[in-house]
C-alpha cells in the first residue's frame, strides 16, 4: 500500500496530527485507573474529602482534555481521508483517460465504475478509521500491559497470556477476511455490469419480453454475491465472540488471583480495581481494533483492486514534442498495408492501403463487420494498427503528441452520445463562437431540432440524450464535430437514422465544406457526395475508385448498388 502514500500529499499535516492526537488521548486514558486506585486506597479509608475532590477534578480535567484531543483528531482524520479519496479519484479518472480503447475494453466498464466509486469509498473509510485507531488501540493495549506490570507483576501475567492469544485471533481473521472480501467485490462487479446493461437496454428487453430471463440472471449473480458476502461476514463475525471469551476468562482469572493477593495483604483493593480497569480498556480497544481490522480488510481488498487499475500500463505511447505537419502535402491521410487485430482474435483489417487527398470527401462502403469503423478508429489512434503504417499530413500518426493528433481530427461516432448538459454545451464544450456555431448547426441540419425544443440551445439534455430521438442525436453529434473546426472530419455511419430528405441536405452541406471528410456507410446512397469510395469485405479492400468506375469494375460495390437501387428493393 506504499503506492497510496502519494495521495496524502495534500493533507500531510492532518494525516500526521490525527494519530498523534489520538495517542495523547490514549495516554490520558491510561492515567485514569491510577487516580481511581488512589481514591479507593487513600481517599476513602482516610475520609479526606479534599484529596478525593482533588483527584475527581483531575479525572474531569483528563476527560475534558481527552475529549478535545479526540474531537480534533477525528476532524483531522476525516479531512485527511476525504482529501486522500479526492486525490485518488482524480488519479483514477486521469488513468482512465490515458488508456486506449483496447485497454478500456480489456478492463471492462463495470470494473472501472466499481473501482472509482465503491472501492474508493471503502478505502476512504479504512483510511479514516485507520488514522484514528490503528495506533491508538495497540498503544492502549501495550500501555495497559506495562501499567499492569507496574501495579502487580503476578496479576499482570494474565495480561501476558491473554494479549498474544487475542492477537492470534485478530490477525487470523484478518488474513481470512481479506481473501473473502476480494472475492465478494468481484461478485459486485458482475452485479454492476448486469444492472448497467439492463438499465441501458431496458427498451430492447421489454420489446422482446426478456424481463423474466434477465431477472433470473440477476438473481443468480446476486445469490453468488450474497454467498460470498455471507462467508466473509461469518468470518468477521467470529471476532467479537472469540475476543469476549478470552477477555472474560482473563477477568475471572484476574479477580481470582487478585482476591487471593488482597487477602494475603500483597495487593490493595484499589490496585485490583486498577488492574480490572486496564483489562477492561484492553477489551474495549481490542473490540475497536477487531472492527477496525474488518474495515481495513475490506479497504485492503478494495485497495488491491484499485492498484491493479492504477498499475495498468497504457498500451499506447505518444510523442511529447509537437511536429510540424506537411500542410502543403496533397495527401491528408494515407494507409500503407495496415492490418488490425482486436486482442488475440482474427484480423479485423487485413492489408488495407489507400490515400485521401486534402479537401476530398472520401467514402468507405461495406456490410456489417467489414471493418469500416476500425479504419476510422485507427486515424486518431483510438486503436493502434497491428501491422503497417498510417500517415496524417505526411507524418506517421505514432509521432504526434496526443493533443496535436486529436486536434486535427473531429469524429462522429457510430453510436451518438450526448452529455447531461445543455444542447449548446454539447456542441461547443465551453465558450461558443457564434459564427462557427451557426455554421455547424446549419450544415448538420440541426436547426429544426433546436427550434423544436422549448429552451432552444439552452435545452437540458437528459442522461444519454434520452429526450432526443436517434436522428436528433446524430445531427447534434455532427454539429459538435463540425464546430470543432478540425482539418479532418470522420463520420462513422453518421446519417443512418436520418430520413432521405434530411440526409440529402446533409450531404449537400458537407459537400460545401472546405475540409477532408471520411465517411462510412452500408448504403451507396449515404455516400453520394463522396468523390472516391473504398469498398471493404471481411476486413479486406476489394476496390477503391470513383463511384462510376466502381460500378463498372467492382463486383461487391455493384452488388450492393443493385440491391439498394432495384425497383423490387425500392418497393
Rounded Cα distance between 138 and 569, Å, is 81
Kindly state whether residue 317 falls inside one of the protein's structural domains: no
Rounded Cα distance between 40 and 52, Å, is 9
Please write the tens of the pLDDT for every residue from 419-477: 888 999 999 987 788 899 999 999 999 999 999 988 999 999 988 788 898 899 999 99
Q: Where are the beta strands (DSSP E) in 106-179?
A: none
Count structural domains, the chain.
2
The whole-number pLDDT of residue 64 equals 94
Which position has the higher pLDDT, 187 or 31? 31
- Through-space distance between the first and last CA atoms of the chain, rounded to whole angstroms: 67
pLDDT above 80 (res 265):
no
Mean pLDDT of the chain, nearest integer: 86
Kindly state whether residue 2 falls inside one of the protein's structural domains: no
Kindly state whether residue 461 falls inside one of the protein's structural domains: yes
pLDDT above 60 (res 571):
no
- pLDDT tier at 325, thresholds 50, 70, 90: low
Calculate what percentage of the chain has a pLDDT beyond 90. 34
Kindly state whether residue 415 falls inside one of the protein's structural domains: yes
Given 310, 339, 359, the domain boundary residue is 310
Backbone φ and ψ for 415, nearest 5 degrees, come out as -105, 105
pLDDT above 80 (res 318):
yes
Please write the tens of the pLDDT for every residue from 236-257: 778 778 878 887 888 888 888 8
Kindly state whether residue 434 falls inside one of the protein's structural domains: yes
Residue matched to cell numbers 465472540: 241
Please write the tens of the pLDDT for every residue from 338-395: 999 987 678 899 999 999 999 999 999 998 889 999 999 999 999 999 999 999 988 9
Residues 368 and 303 in one domain: no
Which sign, positive or negative, has the C-alpha torsion 403, 480, 442, 520? positive
- pLDDT tier at 567, thresholds 50, 70, 90: very low
The mean per-residue pLDDT over the stretch 197-217 comes to 83
Which sign, positive or negative, has the C-alpha torsion 199, 201, 205, 210? negative
Q: Is 553 exposed, middle or buried (0-12, 13-18, 19+ CB in 10 A)?
A: exposed
Please write the tens of the pLDDT for every residue from 500-552: 899 899 989 998 888 999 999 988 888 988 999 999 999 999 999 999 999 99
In angstroms and rounded to an integer, the radius of gyration of the C-alpha atoms of the chain is 35
Contacts of 194 (CB under 8 A, 6+ apart): 214, 217, 218, 221
What is the CATH classification number for the domain harbouring 454? 3.40.50.300
Residues 527 and 560 in one domain: yes
Structural domain containing residue 385: 331-566
Given 278, 310, 342, the domain boundary residue is 310
Rounded Cα distance between 373 and 417, Å, is 16
The strand pairing partners of 386, in sequence order, are none
Residues 339 and 292 in one domain: no
The whole-number pLDDT of residue 569 equals 47
534 in the Ramachandran plot: left (φ > 0), alpha (ψ -120 to 50) or beta?
beta
pLDDT above 70 (res 2):
no
Give the sheet arrangement for strand 347-357, strand by strand: 347-357, 331-341, 387-392, 395-396
Given 280, 310, 340, the domain boundary residue is 310
Kindly state whether residue 326 falls inside one of the protein's structural domains: no
Amino acid at each position: 500500500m506504499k503506492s497510496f502514500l502519494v495521495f496524502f500529499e495534500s493533507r500531510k499535516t492532518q494525516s500526521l496530527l490525527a494519530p498523534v492526537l489520538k495517542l495523547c488521548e490514549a495516554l490520558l486514558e491510561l492515567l485514569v485507573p491510577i487516580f481511581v486506585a488512589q481514591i479507593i486506597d487513600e481517599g476513602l479509608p482516610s475520609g479526606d474529602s479534599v484529596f478525593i475532590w482533588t483527584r475527581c477534578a483531575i479525572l474531569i480535567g483528563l476527560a475534558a482534555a481527552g475529549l478535545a484531543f479526540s474531537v480534533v483528531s477525528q476532524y483531522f482524520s476525516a479531512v485527511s481521508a476525504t482529501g486522500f479519496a479526492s486525490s485518488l479519484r482524480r488519479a483514477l479518472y486521469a488513468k482512465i483517460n490515458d488508456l486506449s480503447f483496447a485497454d478500456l475494453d480489456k478492463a471492462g466498464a463495470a470494473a472501472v465504475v466499481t473501482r472509482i466509486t465503491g472501492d474508493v469509498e471503502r478505502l476512504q473509510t479504512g483510511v479514516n478509521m485507520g488514522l484514528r485507531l490503528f495506533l491508538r488501540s495497540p498503544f492502549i493495549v501495550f500501555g495497559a500491559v506495562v501499567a499492569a506490570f507496574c501495579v502487580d507483576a503476578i496479576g499482570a501475567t494474565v495480561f501476558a497470556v491473554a494479549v498474544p492469544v487475542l492477537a492470534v485471533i485478530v490477525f487470523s481473521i484478518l488474513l481470512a477476511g481479506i481473501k473473502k472480501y476480494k472475492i465478494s467485490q468481484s461478485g459486485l462487479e458482475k452485479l454492476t455490469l448486469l444492472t448497467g446493461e439492463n438499465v441501458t437496454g431496458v427498451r430492447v428487453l421489454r420489446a422482446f419480453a426478456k424481463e423474466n430471463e434477465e431477472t433470473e440472471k440477476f438473481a443468480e449473480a446476486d445469490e453468488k454475491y450474497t454467498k460470498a458476502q455471507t462467508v466473509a461476514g461469518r468470518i468477521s463475525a467470529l471476532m467479537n465472540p472469540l475476543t469476549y471469551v478470552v477477555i472474560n476468562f482473563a477477568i475471572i482469572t484476574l479477580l481470582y488471583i487478585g482476591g487471593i493477593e488482597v487477602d494475603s495483604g500483597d495487593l490493595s483493593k484499589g490496585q485490583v480495581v486498577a488492574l480490572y480497569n486496564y483489562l477492561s480498556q484492553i477489551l474495549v480497544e481490542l473490540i475497536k481494533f477487531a472492527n477496525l481490522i474488518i474495515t481495513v480488510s475490506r479497504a485492503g481488498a478494495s485497495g488491491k483492486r484499485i492498484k491493479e487499475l492504477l498499475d495498468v500500463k497504457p498500451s499506447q505511447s505518444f510523442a511529447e514534442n509537437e511536429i510540424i505537419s506537411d500542410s502543403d502535402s496533397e495527401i491528408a491521410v494515407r494507409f500503407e498495408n495496415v492490418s488490425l487485430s482486436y486482442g488475440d482474435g482474427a484480423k479485423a483489417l487485413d492489408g488495407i492501403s489507400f490515400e485521401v487527398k486534402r479537401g476530398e470527401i472520401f467514402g468507405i462502403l461495406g456490410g456489417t463487420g467489414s471493418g469500416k469503423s476500425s479504419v476510422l478508429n485507427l486515424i486518431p489512434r483510438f486503436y493502434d494498427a497491428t501491422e503497417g503504417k498510417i500517415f496524417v499530413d505526411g507524418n506517421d500518426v505514432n509521432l504526434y503528441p496526443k493533443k496535436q493528433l486529436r486536434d486535427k481530427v473531429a469524429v462522429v461516432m457510430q453510436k451518438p452520445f450526448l452529455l447531461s448538459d445543455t444542447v449548446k454545451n454539447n456542441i461547443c464544450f465551453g465558450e461558443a463562437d457564434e459564427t462557427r456555431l451557426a455554421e455547424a448547426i446549419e450544415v448538420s441540419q440541426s436547426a429544426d431540432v433546436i427550434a423544436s425544443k422549448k429552451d432552444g440551445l439552452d435545452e437540458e439534455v437528459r442522461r444519454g440524450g434520452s429526450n432526443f430521438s436517434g436522428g436528433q442525436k446524430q445531427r447534434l453529434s455532427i454539429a459538435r464535430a463540425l464546430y470543432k473546426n478540425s482539418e479532418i472530419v470522420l463520420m462513422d455511419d453518421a446519417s443512418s437514422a436520418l430520413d432521405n430528405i434530411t440526409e440529402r441536405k446533409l450531404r449537400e452541406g458537407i459537400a460545401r465544406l472546405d475540409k477532408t471528410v471520411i465517411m462510412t456507410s452500408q448504403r451507396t446512397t449515404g455516400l453520394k457526395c463522396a468523390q472516391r469510395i473504398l469498398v471493404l469485405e471481411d476486413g479486406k479492400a476489394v476496390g477503391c475508385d470513383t463511384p462510376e468506375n466502381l460500378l463498372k469494375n467492382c463486383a461487391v460495390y455493384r452488388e450492393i448498388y443493385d440491391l439498394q437501387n432495384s425497383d423490387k428493393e425500392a418497393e
